[in-house]
């Protein structure tokens, strides 16, 4: 039976009248027992006020946001960092619809999330059309399961929902909160997908190969120690997807940089005679064709149904169990430091764009100067947009989850909610949020959330009043006018200050460096409105995604 189906659980609980408080207590208790300590959301006028109160009574923290989208992103990122499904509560109708982008982000970025929506009561559904949407149908394509909380079976519904959200690949589950519901439908466990290959098959696929390249994806985050043991003191190059950045420290000699599906990693992949993909989910990669001729051996915790790689051997199972068995099977015919040299060559090309501009700070300077003066364990969140092409390779990381980005949905408006969640999850560490003017505009109100929570987050806005990544595509394709990509000049520093966040505007590299240092000396939020010279972006784009 598929996860969307279920078996009936009889109900004999309290009458519908007054049942909301008991149901909310059941939900809060299940979350607390699962290890969840924080609830995010934006209550409406329905039963989710009961949920907020029950969570706080259970000793959980409730974080009020301004948008449902931001609440869902915060819960998904927080749950991913804490390795525990985290709940987000929203009201019915418009609240649920507004949360859909954040739920889709959790779905494609493989993060555990429990979205609990208020709903038109089943007892009143025939009478009420106001704000009545088929919320289950709306969320079914972007969740692992959608169900109903109501009746005496809700404790089992919660246990199964939390289990489904955490099971590989992690993802969101949606539940309508309806105390008047009848028999609860509890999904049966999804059948285990058998691996199409054994460890012996993997070993045979590696036999006789002397130049293996290791690709690390988000699935490898569950086996960091085993991956590092495999690669420590080995010459074989390793490439990481955006989400896997930090699994291999950027300064290790075999760190060859990022795997993006673009051209920057082509030299190392073209030199390989076998490519070992560990935890790689093709949802992270831009949809260029896969041009490399070396056979791909996939080792993952879940099956990737996309034919992106067409691996010759696909093992699905526990990474931490299989990786140690490969330590003697992977030959090492590479010259010492080959991967690092290729990575440094790529960084040199990236840094070759103009610097110290008289028209603003260059994107490369924004990243390198911040990296040089912020604490070594700073967590960086990166929004979608042209600035990410500079941020991801130039921000060095030595541990996993030190760089957070939406690489599956690649949604704008991710970085600020993610920074708030990261600061709550990683208490005591500085967080820097790299976001473009377009992305910050999608969640400006969450600056008040940042101020209210008084978190040590440095928000760095790349402000050139342009949707720069789209403008670059416009330049390449030769259509569309400036009205499609340009905004009026906006003072994000002024907006931040009005919401209680210390802020300043900078337009030179020297002033920017001083401002970043000031932000690092305070334990409070700080926003830097950085006037960017976009002249170097085309060269950045060409150095990473140039023509094959």
CATH number assigned to the domain comprising residue 486: 3.40.50.970
* Closest residue by Cα to residue 379 from 16, 52, 81: 81
Check whether residue 216 and residue 335 sit in a common domain.
yes
Residue 224 falls inside a structural domain? yes
Residue 346 falls inside a structural domain? no
- Domain's final residue, options 341, 373, 406: 341
Check whether residue 180 and residue 50 sit in a common domain.
yes
Check whether residue 205 and residue 318 sit in a common domain.
yes
Check whether residue 258 and residue 177 sit in a common domain.
no
Contacts for 404 with CB less than 8 Å, ≥ 6 apart:
77, 379, 380, 381, 382, 418, 422
Check whether residue 359 and residue 417 sit in a common domain.
yes
Q: Total structural domains in the chain?
A: 3
Check whether residue 381 and residue 466 sit in a common domain.
yes
Residue 475 falls inside a structural domain? yes
The CATH number for 299's domain is: 3.40.50.1220
**Cβ atoms of residues 169 and 110 within 8 Å:** yes
Check whether residue 368 and residue 466 sit in a common domain.
yes
The residue assigned the tokens 């929902």 is 161
Residue 447 falls inside a structural domain? yes
Check whether residue 169 and residue 204 sit in a common domain.
no
Domain span at residue 207 reads 199-341
Backbone phi, psi, residue 42, to 5°: -140, 95
Check whether residue 272 and residue 292 sit in a common domain.
yes
- Domain's final residue, options 165, 187, 209: 187
In DSSP terms, which residues pair with 146 in a beta bridge? Answer: 174
Residue 1 falls inside a structural domain? no
Check whether residue 525 and residue 397 sit in a common domain.
yes
Check whether residue 364 and residue 282 sit in a common domain.
no
Q: pLDDT digits over 243-291, tens only?
A: 999 999 999 999 999 998 878 888 899 999 999 999 999 999 888 888 9
Contacts for 241 with CB less than 8 Å, ≥ 6 apart:
215, 216, 217, 218, 258, 259, 260, 280, 284, 285, 407
Residue 194 falls inside a structural domain? no
Which three-class secondary structure state does DSSP give residue 156? helix
Residue 123 falls inside a structural domain? yes
How many CB atoms are closer than 10 A to CB 261?
17
Check whether residue 421 and residue 488 sit in a common domain.
yes
Residue 347 falls inside a structural domain? no
Strands 255-258 and 313-316, by their bridges, are unpaired
**Cβ atoms of residues 88 and 43 within 8 Å:** no
- Domain's final residue, options 341, 375, 390: 341
| pLDDT digit string (tens) for the chain, length 548 residues | 233 433 333 333 334 446 888 889 999 999 999 999 999 999 887 678 889 999 999 999 999 999 999 999 999 999 999 999 999 999 999 999 999 999 999 999 999 999 999 977 665 666 665 666 788 999 999 999 999 988 778 889 999 999 999 999 999 999 998 888 876 677 766 666 677 789 999 999 999 999 999 999 999 999 999 999 999 878 899 999 999 999 999 999 999 999 988 788 888 999 999 999 999 999 998 888 889 999 999 999 999 888 888 899 999 999 988 999 888 888 888 888 888 888 888 887 777 755 555 678 999 999 999 999 999 999 999 999 888 989 999 999 999 999 999 999 989 999 999 999 999 999 999 999 999 999 999 999 999 999 999 999 999 999 987 656 666 665 656 566 566 666 668 899 999 999 999 999 999 999 999 999 999 999 999 999 999 888 777 777 777 766 43
What's the pTM? 0.91
């Amino acid at each position: 039976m598929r996860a969307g189906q279920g078996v009936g659980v009889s109900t004999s609980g309290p009458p519908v009248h007054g049942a909301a408080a008991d149901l909310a207590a059941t939900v809060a208790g299940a979350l607390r027992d699962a290890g969840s300590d924080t609830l995010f959301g934006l209550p409406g006028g329905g039963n989710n006020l009961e949920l907020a109160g029950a969570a706080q009574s259970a000793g959980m923290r409730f974080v009020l946001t301004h948008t449902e989208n931001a609440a869902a992103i915060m819960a998904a990122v927080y749950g991913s960092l804490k390795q525990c499904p985290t709940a987000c509560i929203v009201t019915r109708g418009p609240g649920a619809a507004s949360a859909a982008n954040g739920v889709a982000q959790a779905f494609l970025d493989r993060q555990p999330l429990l979205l609990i929506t208020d709903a038109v009561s089943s007892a009143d559904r025939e009478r009420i059309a106001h704000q009545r949407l088929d919320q289950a149908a709306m969320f079914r394509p972007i969740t692992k399961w959608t169900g109903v909380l109501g009746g005496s079976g809700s404790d089992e519904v919660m246990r199964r929902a939390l289990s489904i959200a955490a099971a590989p690949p992690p993802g969101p589950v949606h539940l309508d909160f309806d105390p008047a519901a009848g028999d609860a439908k509890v999904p049966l466990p999804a059948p285990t997908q058998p691996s199409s290959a054994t460890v012996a098959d993997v070993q045979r696929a590696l036999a006789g190969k002397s130049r293996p390249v290791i690709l690390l994806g988000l699935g490898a985050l569950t086996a960091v120690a085993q991956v590092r043991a495999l690669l420590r003191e080995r010459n074989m190059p390793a490439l990481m997807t955006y989400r896997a950045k930090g699994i291999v420290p950027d300064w290790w000699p075999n760190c060859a940089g990022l795997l993006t599906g673009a051209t920057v990693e082509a030299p190392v992949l073209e030199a390989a005679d076998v490519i070992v993909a560990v935890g790689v989910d093709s949802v992270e990669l831009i949809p260029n064709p896969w041009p490399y001729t070396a056979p791909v051996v996939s080792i993952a915790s879940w099956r990737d149904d996309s034919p992106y790689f067409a691996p010759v051997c696909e093992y699905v199972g526990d990474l931490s169990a299989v990786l140690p068995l490969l330590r003697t099977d992977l030959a090492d015919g590479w010259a010492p430091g080959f991967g690092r040299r290729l990575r440094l060559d790529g960084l040199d090309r990236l840094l070759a764009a103009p610097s110290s501009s008289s028209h603003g700070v260059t994107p490369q300077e924004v990243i390198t100067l911040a990296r040089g003066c912020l604490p070594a364990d700073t967590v960086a969140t990166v929004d979608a947009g042209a600035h990410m092409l500079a941020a991801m390779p130039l921000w060095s990381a030595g541990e996993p989850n030190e760089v957070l980005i939406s690489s599956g949905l690649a949604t704008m408006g991710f970085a600020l909610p993610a920074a708030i969640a990261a600061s709550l999850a990683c208490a005591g560490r500085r967080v820097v949020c790299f976001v473009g003017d377009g992305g910050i505009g999608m969640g400006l109100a969450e600056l008040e959330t940042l101020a209210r929570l008084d978190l040590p987050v440095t928000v760095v806005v790349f402000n050139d009043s342009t949707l720069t990544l789209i403008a670059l595509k416009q330049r390449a394709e030769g259509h569309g006018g400036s009205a499609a990509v340009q905004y009026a000049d906006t003072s994000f520093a002024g907006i931040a200050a009005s919401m209680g966040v210390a802020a300043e505007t900078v337009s030179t590299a020297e002033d920017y460096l001083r401002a970043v240092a000031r932000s690092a000396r305070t334990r409070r939020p700080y926003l830097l409105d950085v006037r960017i010279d976009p002249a170097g972006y085309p060269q950045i784009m060409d150095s990473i995604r140039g023509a094959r």
